[in-house]
Amino acid sequence: MKKQTNKNNKQIILRKKTRDRAIVVVAVSGGFDPVHVGHVRLFNEAKTLGDELVVILNNDNWLKVKKGEPFMSENERREILESFRAVDKVIITKHGSNDQDRSVCRELEKLRPQIFANGGDRHSGNIPEYALCERLGIEMIFNVGAGGKVQSSSWLIAKVAQVRRKS
């Protein structure tokens, strides 16, 4: 395996494609409510890190705890995510309405991807899955998807509310 740094100063691993090697699974996670250009960039770059991209989608219960009522239902979000060329599979989390654990550790433990890719607003100090990934040997890659926080679902929702107030 060769390591190289890309234009965003991120270390990436170049894997030699061979017929007999195992498929490299990359996982990303989020609420994606609503999906925006930063998410699209995350999916596209994450897909280049392996062979199969699995999106772990936080369910409606998770979103209600984090920010209130979802803008879009988990099924609508799943359908949109499944339509992206870069996305191979979408898994919806099983968070309960009173679930204090807001991580995707259960899903990562079951899936066991080789890589857990995270966008520009995440780092090892603010991600609850870090210890699990260390224990399971899941490589964590940060700043995936054009680097930095380029847009936010909350910003988009606030903008819609602002436009509606002006109408």
Predicted confidence (pLDDT) at residue 83 exceeds the cutoff of 50: yes
The superfamily (CATH) of domain 2-166 is: HUPs (3.40.50.620)
Per-residue confidence (pLDDT) for residue 14, from 0 to 100: 42
List of residues 6+ apart from 111 with CB closer than 8 A: 25, 27, 54, 56, 91
Q: How many CB atoms lie within 10 A of CB 22?
A: 7
Q: pLDDT for 131-149, tens place per residue?
A: 999 999 999 999 998 765 6
User: What pLDDT score was predicted for residue 46?
Assistant: 97
Tens-place pLDDT, residues 8-43: 455 444 444 444 568 999 999 999 998 988 899 999
Q: DSSP per residue over 116-157, as a string?
A: EE--TT--GGG-TTHHHHHHHT-EEE-S-SSSS----HHHHH
Which residues are within 8 A (CB) of 69 and not within 5 positions of it... i.e. 6 or more apart?
A: 63
Residues above pLDDT 90, as percent of the chain: 57
Averaged pLDDT of the chain: 83
0.95 exceeded by pTM: no
Percent of the chain beyond pLDDT 70?
76
Residue closest to 47 by CA, chosen among 69, 20, 28, 19: 28
